[in-house]
Amino acid sequence: MDENVRFIYDQVDRHHAWFAKSLPMIASENVISPLARELLLSDFGDRYAEGLPGERYYQGNAYTDEVEIRVTELAKALFRCRHADPRLISGTTANMAVYFALMEPGDIMTSVALSHGAHISSAKFGAAGMRGVNTVNYPFDVDRMNIDVDGTAKLITLVKPKVAAFGQSVFLFPTPLTELRDAFQEAGCHVWYDAAHVIGLIAGGKFQDPLREGADVMTGSTHKTLPGPQHGIMLSDSADEKFIKRLLRAVFPGVLSNHHLHAMAALGVTLAEHIEFGRAYADQIVRNAKALAQALHEHGIKVLAERHGFTASHAIALDVTAQGGGAKVSADLEKANIVTNKNLLPWDTSPVKPNGVRVGTQELTRLGMREAQMREVATLVARVAVKGEDPGKVAAEVASLRKEFNTVHFCFTPDAEAHKRWRMA
């Protein structure tokens, strides 16, 4: 085998071995089910399908069309909406489609600030700024780790944005959309909800219901609390055909050509699994997040929004200023095979040296862990971050804990007899 190929295979093998003995707690990651993963290896990944089913620019789509139609119907059923577009290749691409569909350069968009937990695609130096959108940030209630309702309502009615955007990468609590409906109506704006982090919780009935609470369009990535492939989706319950056509045209030919058919097929399996298991999965994710937050708090780590129950989602935000800051703590935890990330807190100014660490429970939950294990995880984290123990010593105990949790839960079990396998000729 070529040495470059061998090198790449070796690194992937080492990665697999490492994560099999680690605690993966990045809030934006998850593990795909075995049935969905297999579709990523199918011949769908070698094909093109520009456009919509029945209206392709390529031949050879007889079966990919049928899959896309079924995936679309599954998404509409899961999210109880009239329109679903599973062609987006990422959450950020879905967000870019919203910019193209609903905004022109120079238009105003109100949004959450980056330091308050927003995603980079809504920042002036991200996709929003590159589209020429003028962003105005909502006032933020740091104690509640959520937008300030009264201040946000006043801001929206004052600046009258073309789009009022909501959604965060540190998404601890539901956005008060219902309370802002009068402001939306007075401003005459579209309402867009970026559900990338919480879309699986929404589908599982454990967070909020944006499409019933005032959002015209909802976007998301499909590999966080929705445990599917790295892909994107756009959803709307609007009955306005012109509005839906704008969304469709912004997706294709606006921001993509071919749309990664293998990932779309894998997403379909994920949606079917979430219809079956999503409510139980989402419920356990939130239970685990609350349990982990409480246990970390009891170990002396400052967990934000203490007075409000720490979190109502998969994520928790830690202020580790007293332990040396987010960069130091996340690096030390990685040495112990506890995988988290440094993160901006509302008062931070440097994304390179922030004082926060972001933690998510969705992947540990997917691997079968429950509240009892969250307390064990909190103890391991505290031994590194608070007590300053040798990460190598803690890593051995992390591996011991993880041995019992290497099976993906909340998914269909492959049937060995009927399960079709693809092999390279």
Residue 416 has a pLDDT of 56
> What pLDDT is attached to residue 175?
98
Name which of 267, 205, 233 is nearest 93 in CA terms: 233
Segment holding 137, helix H or strand E: strand 134-137
Report the b/e string of 26-62 with b at 16+ CB within 10 A. ebbbbbbbebbebbbebebeeeebbbbbeebeeeebe
**Which residues, in sequence order, are CB contacts of 173 under 8 Å at separation 6+?**
144, 145, 146, 305, 308, 311, 312, 313
Task: Round to whole Å and give the CA distance between 294 and 275.
Answer: 30
> Could you state, in chain order, the average pLDDT of each consecutive group of 10 residues for the chain (425 residues)?
95 98 98 97 96 94 98 98 98 96 96 87 78 93 96 98 96 98 98 98 98 98 98 98 97 95 98 98 98 98 98 98 97 98 93 95 98 98 98 97 97 70 48
Q: Show the tokens assigned to 187.
A: 């401003």
- CA–CA distances in Å: residue 302 to residues 170, 323, 402: 16, 10, 26
Phi, psi for residue 217 in degrees, rounded to 5 = -145, 145
Q: What domains can you pick out in the chain, each with its CATH number?
A: 34-273 (3.40.640.10), 280-402 (3.90.1150.10)
- Interatomic CA distance for residues 343 and 351, integer angstroms: 7
Q: Alpha carbon of 413 to those of 269, 323, 409: distances in Å?
A: 12, 43, 9
Give the per-residue pLDDT at 424: 45
pLDDT of residue 418: 47
Give the 3-state secondary structure of residue 83. strand
Cα–Cα distance measured from residue 113 to residue 13, given in angstroms and rounded to the nearest whole number: 39
- Over residues 262-286, the pLDDT tens digits come to 999 999 999 999 999 999 999 999 9
Q: CA-CA distances (angstroms) from residue 334 to 26, 330, 381?
A: 11, 6, 10
Question: What pLDDT, on a 0 to 100 scale, did the predictor assign at position 148?
Answer: 97
* The model's pTM: 0.95
Instruction: Classify strands 163-166 and 108-111 as parallel, antiparallel or unpaired.
Output: parallel
